[in-house]
Each structure stands twice: as C-alpha cells, then as structure tokens.
Amino acid sequence: MTDYRCEAIPTEEAERFRRAEKDDFGHRIERLTSDRTYPCRHCLREASASNGMLLFSYHTPKPHSVYGQPTAVFMCAYDCERFDAPNTIADIINNRLVSFRAFRSDGMMIYDANRIAESGNYDPIVRAILARDDVAYINAHTAKAGCLLCHIARA
C-alpha cells in the first residue's frame, strides 16, 4: 500500500501572500468577503469568505518543466492551520470533479496515469496512481477551472 500526503501551500508563503498587495506575477491580490465558501489552499478546507478570502495567482512548486504553470488559488485571509494529515484526502478535493495529473520525477506528465474523477472516494485512485513506479507525484486540479487544489506526494 502506497502512503501519501496532500501538501498545502507552505505556511511561510501563506503569510507572505496575506501581507502582500500583489502576487508574484504583479497582479493585485483580490480580497473577498461574501457568504460563499471557497477552497483554501493552506488549510485545504472549504472556508467562508465572510471571514475574508484571498484570490491570487500561484506558481505550482512542481513540476519544473513545460507543465509547470501559474494557477488561480483561494486562501484564507486570516491565519489558518496548514493541512498535515497523512493518507487523508483533503476536504477541498472530496467535493469536486478532480483531475489527478501524474508526473515523473523529471517533471514530465504521464498521460496514461492521469485520472478525472467525481466519486468523492479518491483514496483508492491516489493510491493506484502512486503505486506506479514511474509516478513521482500528483497534482490535483479542479477539472472544470483547472486550478491547483494541492500537490500529492508519497509520504
């Protein structure tokens, strides 16, 4: 059985974005307040914008290849606890149509290992992808908008 970990934006980066007016691409960081919920990329939970949410461009930490890309992400505007639970699919993944994108260690995508799923029971899918010897990690994205939800690595 392959152990894994859903990895959130590091706390140091989250704190930096909370203090910033612009993201790393020079775009204004949007500050949202509404009755809606959004998927925070730090606590990896649905969070209410009534408490404040940020929307900004974020460059995926991996892959370092032609598949690396900036992506729009939401994050709590206030301090929240970084997700850190092994062998647990993060809340923001479980309630979405998700594209699981598999990568080799050199950052190249493995097309036939990729999966799109909407079951809400993603643990077996993640384990099956990571069980392949050629897969180094997975990036989970929203299948419709394409935004990064989190990086998934072997634990």
Give whichever of 38-47, 63-72, 114-123 has the largest mean pLDDT: 38-47
Confidence of residue 112 (pLDDT cuts 50, 70, 90): very high
Length of the chain: 155
Looking at the fold, whether 58 and 93 belong to one and the same domain comes out as no
pLDDT in tens, 70-79: 999 999 999 9
Residue with tokens 């152990």: 3
- pTM, 2 dp: 0.94
d(CA 13, CA 1): 32
Q: Under 8 Å CB-to-CB from 134, ≥6 apart: which residues? A: 104, 110, 113
The dihedral region occupied by 105, where left means phi > 0, alpha psi between -120 and 50, and beta the remainder, is alpha
- Boundaries of domain holding 133: 85-154
Q: Are 6 and 137 in contact (CB under 8 A)?
A: no
In a domain, 2, yes or no: no
Domain boundary among 76, 96, 113: 76
